[in-house]
Amino acid sequence: MILVRLLLQTVVLALGQIWANKTRAILTSLGIIIGVGSVTAVIASLTGLKQFVLEEFETFGAKTMFIDGQVPESMRNRISWRSVQLTIPEIRAIQEHAPAVERITPRYYNSYAIRNGELTKEGVLVMGIWPEWHEITDRHVILGRQFNRIDEEQMRYVCIVNDQAIEELNLDRDPVGDYLLIDDLRFLIVGVVETKQLSPMFGGGDVRSEVFTPLSTSMKMDSGLWIRDAFAQMADPKQADEAEEQIRFVLRKLRGLEPGQEDTFIIFATQQAIDQFNGLAAGMTAVAGGIVSISLLVGGIGIMNIMLVSVSERTREIGLRKAVGARPAIILMQFLVEAVTLCAVGGLIGLVIGQSLTLLLQNMPDTPLEHAEIPPWAIALAFAFSAAVGVIFGMFPAVKAARLDPIEALRHE
Amino acid sequence: MIRRAAKSPADAPAIEIRSLRKTYRMGVERVHALRGVDLTIQRNEFVAIMGPSGSGKSTLMNVLGCLDRPTAGAYRLNGRPVEKMGAGELASVRNVEIGFVFQTFELLPRASALKNVTLPLLYSRTGWLGARRAARRALERVGLGDRMHHRPNQLSGGQRQRVAVARALVTNPSILLADEPTGNLDSTTGEEIIALFNTLHEEGQTIVIVTHEEDVAGHAQRIVRLHDGRIRSDLPTPSDPIHRDWLERAAIKIKDMGAGSPSPALEAAS
């Protein structure tokens, strides 16, 4: 009770001291102000960057998974890449036995020369897909129709094109019903699919011409025995780990892998990549925090310096306080509280500056930082750190004050 | 935590010191500031301590005020031995038992008179409101009821010293210690302060002052003279030979000058 009252009085006293020496206090806590201001701005921009990257991931779909055959490092020379490629029965098995997987599509692709009348375009990507592909990649048919079961089963020569292909091959605005020559085979255009800008992170970038055929058709054209890879979609991004486990279970069982043997395939979930990126961002935040804490350290030395000046300036006052009955511990507390208050005020000003910088970053053109903001934990951290700096660097001057001999102190000029 | 020092049995003398020694070490040399002092001061006494500089009077004052600990000897303050107390305990003894008045006032320049007077109570158990009330009362007691919110630089020297006296009185100390309380004041204001001390003494306050001014010492009941760390004489004021001698010389001087009325100190003594 009495301690609380004393503490309160000490805080009031400390604020009074700081107010009496405003300029000095501001200059002294400049290190803290800059430190806190920059650390919060850095954290805010990292938060914004994270938000931006997560949104990029969203373009690929947080619920999307990618599956491909892969020879594990340790068996590189013992098994051929062919033996690990995914097959249609494997995809069917996943469809059936992995409940966390909502839909799945195999993919098969190759580049062909495509001709429309006199116009030939070399090296156009032709991709074989199942109709589920539209839903999984969120790219729906805007004209005409999707492939149907008959297209797939009968390996019909039908195709879907994107806007870019219409432009580059000089097709009709509504090309549904027209024909294209793919590798000298005549394909009926049944639909147009929207072009979606995928983040460069996922091989997006420049919009290219794309032509889609039923999976079976494209495999037949290439006499392909294996599919290239598969896209799957889960019902819920939270099920990423579950879906991965289920797919792994199914594939390992089908491939007869013994416990201890490595997977002969890879599964990539966007969610996991997001988790990885979050880890990376946390690391970057920590590094930035570490660098900025050096500035707080320098700020702390400034605080210590000015507190030492304050102690020697107020030697007589300390002597008087001791003479009228202040215990050494109280004097210690008084100076410690003053240092902490100084740092906390500096931290507050730093936060205001950090917030202004953040607002500036948000409105900077051509930067992915429009979502920059200071998270609450960073505010708490900044305050805790400046208070800690106050305690650590205020301790030495405070101990010096507490140890002053009252007689000597009162004689001090 | 601040503990209130227990008030001691009523019959014990206010101050009782026996063979008190204080030795300072200045480099390799030892300086004997006090070489065995015995002194008893009863409650409600008004004692002046005098002596040339280097006689040990400041050291004695510091020990009496519990600001310093003796090298050897015993010191009982209101019957309580204080010579072995630690820094924290001494601080609370200073807070509760002793009121200090300094030659240079030692007021906090930025604080009002009221705040200055409240200062010792910050370190006691008194609540905030109680402290304010006590401070007001102490300021009224020294006649500064109308100057409570003035800062030291808005007050005259005599008023500042009265604020300091109020600060010394605010905790109701058993002993008021004054170190050259008139040293920084002109003679008229000095007399004001001494008159205040007289009033306080009449009200029952135990007062010990250190001074080198004979007319100030003349107001005390008893003059203790120190020389070379020892007590040279300890006599009631009227029978103190040096003081009497000084009074006679002063009377002659005044007569020679043909000046008006002698000082109140002289009147009181004659």
State how beta strands A158-162 and A229-234 pair. unpaired
pLDDT digits (tens, 9 = 90+) for A83-101: 888 999 999 999 999 998 9
Cα–Cα distances in Å, from B44 out to A257, A368, B6, B66, B192? 103, 82, 19, 19, 21
Question: B150 to chain A nearest CA, in Å?
Answer: 17
Cα A215 from Cα B218, distance rounded (Å): 121
Contact B123 A326 (CB under 8 A): yes
Mean pLDDT of chain A: 87
Question: A3 to chain B nearest CA, in Å?
Answer: 7
Domain-located, residue B28:
yes
Q: Which residues pair with A124 in a beta bridge?
A: A112
Contact A328 B87 (CB under 8 A): yes
Residue numbers of the domain that contains B243: 15-269
Residues 6+ apart with CB under 8 A from A95: A101, A103, A104
Least confident stretch, A50-59, A205-214, A378-387, B16-25 = A50-59
Residues 6+ apart with CB under 8 A from A170: A116, A117, A119
Q: Is some CB atom of chain B closer than 8 A to the CB atom of A198?
A: no
Other residues' Cβ atoms within 10 Å of the Cβ of residue A61: 18
Interface A:B, Cβ pairs < 8 A: 64
Cα A4 from Cα A348, distance rounded (Å): 23
Residues in chain B within 8 Å Cβ distance of A2 = 1-2, 125
Report the chain B residue with the minimal C-alpha distance to residue A13.
Answer: B111
pLDDT digits (tens, 9 = 90+) for A19-29: 888 898 888 88
pLDDT of residue A90: 92
Contact B88 A16 (CB under 8 A): no
Domain-located, residue B2:
no
Domain identity same for A186 and A230: yes
Count of all residues that appear for chain B in the document: 270
- The helix (run of H) or strand (run of E) holding residue A129 is strand A119-129
Least confident stretch, A5-9, B26-30, B143-147 = A5-9
Q: For A325, which of B1, B108, B120 is closest by C-beta distance?
A: B120
Residues in chain A within 8 Å Cβ distance of B100 = 323-324
Q: For A323, which of B94, B122, B125 is closest by C-beta distance?
A: B94
Report the chain B residue with the minimal C-alpha distance to residue A411.
Answer: B104
Alpha helices in A263-375 (DSSP H): 270-313, 315-323, 328-362
Report the chain A residue with the minimal C-alpha distance to residue B169.
Answer: A324
Cα A185 from Cα A381, distance rounded (Å): 66
SS3 state of residue A160: strand
pLDDT of residue A204: 57
Q: Quote the strand ranges of B15-166, DSSP E.
A: 15-26, 29-41, 46-50, 72-77, 80-81, 98-101
Domain-located, residue B1:
no
Q: Which residues pair with B34 in a beta bridge?
A: B22
Domain identity same for A20 and A80: no
Cα A337 from Cα A374, distance rounded (Å): 27
Domain identity same for A41 and A79: no
- The helix (run of H) or strand (run of E) holding residue A67 is strand A64-69
CATH of the domain at B92: 3.40.50.300
Domain-located, residue A270:
no
Domain identity same for A332 and A238: no
Cα B239 from Cα B205, distance rounded (Å): 23
Domain-located, residue A149:
yes
Cα dihedral A350, A354, A356, A362 in deg (nearest 10): 180
Residue numbers of the domain that contains A342: 2-57+275-411
Domain identity same for A23 and A97: no
pLDDT of residue A398: 94
Domain identity same for A309 and A178: no
Domain-located, residue A134:
yes
Domain identity same for A77 and A53: no
Cα B188 from Cα B253, distance rounded (Å): 19
Contact A323 B100 (CB under 8 A): yes
With helix as H, strand as E and coil as C, how does A261-277 read? CCCCEEEEEHHHHHHHH
Q: B182 near B213, Cβ under 8 Å?
A: yes
Number of domain units in chain B: 1
Domain identity same for A179 and A45: no
Q: Which amino acid is at B78?
A: N
pLDDT of residue B5: 46
- The helix (run of H) or strand (run of E) holding residue B159 is helix B157-169
Count of all residues that appear for chain A in the document: 413
Contact B91 A321 (CB under 8 A): no
Contact A323 B124 (CB under 8 A): no
pLDDT of residue B270: 46
Numbered residues of chain B with Cβ closer than 8 Å to any chain A Cβ: 1-2, 62, 65, 67-68, 87-88, 91-92, 94-96, 100, 102, 106, 108, 110, 119-120, 122-125, 127-128, 167, 171
Cα B36 from Cα B42, distance rounded (Å): 20
Structure tokens at A401: 């004050």
Residues in chain A within 8 Å Cβ distance of B163 = none
Contact B88 A320 (CB under 8 A): no
The sign of the dihedral angle between the CA atoms of B215, B219, B223, B227 is negative
Contact A327 B88 (CB under 8 A): yes
The answer, yes or no, to whether residue A2 has pLDDT greater than 70, is no
Segment A245-268 mean pLDDT:
89
Q: To the nearest 5 percent, what fractions of chain B are helix, strand and coil?
A: 40, 25, 35
Q: B132 near B115, Cβ under 8 Å?
A: no
Other residues' Cβ atoms within 10 Å of the Cβ of residue A217: 25
Give the residue from A214, A237, A263 where a domain finishes.
Answer: A263
Domain-located, residue A66:
no
Complex-level ipTM: 0.87
Report the chain A residue with the minimal C-alpha distance to residue B126.
Answer: A2
Domain identity same for A397 and A254: no
The answer, yes or no, to whether residue B8 has pLDDT greater than 70, is no
Mutate to test the interface with B, among A15, A313, A327 (most CBs of B within 10 A): A327
Domain identity same for A216 and A116: yes
Give the residue from A243, A263, A283 where a domain finishes.
Answer: A263
Give the residue from A263, A290, A325 where a domain finishes.
Answer: A263
pLDDT digits (tens, 9 = 90+) for A179-193: 999 988 999 999 999
Question: Cα A173 to the chain's mean position, in Å?
Answer: 40
Cα–Cα distances in Å, from B59 out to A144, A227, B3, B105, B178? 108, 101, 27, 19, 13
Q: For A324, which of B68, B88, B95 is closest by C-beta distance?
A: B95
Tell the burial category of B121 from Cβ atoms under 10 Å away from its Cβ (0-12, 13-18, 19+): buried
Question: A29 to chain B nearest CA, in Å?
Answer: 23
Mutate to test the interface with A, among B94, B110, B165 (most CBs of A within 10 A): B94
Structure tokens at B2: 């601040």
Domain identity same for A257 and A282: no
Domain-located, residue B113:
yes
Q: Which residues pair with A229 in a beta bridge?
A: A107
- For residue A40, name the pLDDT band (cuts at 50, 70, 90): confident
Q: For B67, which of A20, A329, A407 is closest by C-beta distance?
A: A407
The answer, yes or no, to whether residue B6 has pLDDT greater than 60, is no
The answer, yes or no, to whether residue A277 has pLDDT greater than 90, is no
Segment B190-214 mean pLDDT:
92
Question: B249 to chain A nearest CA, in Å?
Answer: 35
Domain-located, residue B3:
no
Number of domain units in chain A: 2
Q: B34 near A374, Cβ under 8 Å?
A: no
Geometric angle at alpha carbon A364, from A46 and A279, rounded to 5°: 10
pLDDT of residue A177: 92
Domain-located, residue A65:
no
Cα A75 from Cα A67, distance rounded (Å): 19
Phi, psi at B239, each rounded to 5°: -100, 5
With helix as H, strand as E and coil as C, how does A202-244 read? HCCCCCCCEEEEEHHHHHHHCCCCCCCEEEEEECCHHHHHHHH
Residues 6+ apart with CB under 8 A from B176: B98, B99, B101, B165, B168, B169, B197, B200, B205, B206, B207, B208
pLDDT of residue A200: 59
Q: Which of A43-47, A214-218, A233-237, B214-218: highest mean pLDDT?
A: A214-218
- For residue B264, name the pLDDT band (cuts at 50, 70, 90): low
- For residue B87, name the pLDDT band (cuts at 50, 70, 90): confident
pLDDT of residue B253: 87
Cα–Cα distances in Å, from A198 out to B28, B77, B115? 86, 89, 71
Domain-located, residue A268:
no
Q: Is some CB atom of chain B closer than 8 A to the CB atom of A324?
A: yes
Geometric angle at alpha carbon A146, from A94 and A155, rounded to 5°: 70
Residues in chain B within 8 Å Cβ distance of A5 = 127-128
State how beta strands B29-41 and A141-144 pair. unpaired
Segment A213-220 mean pLDDT:
92
Domain identity same for A185 and A253: yes
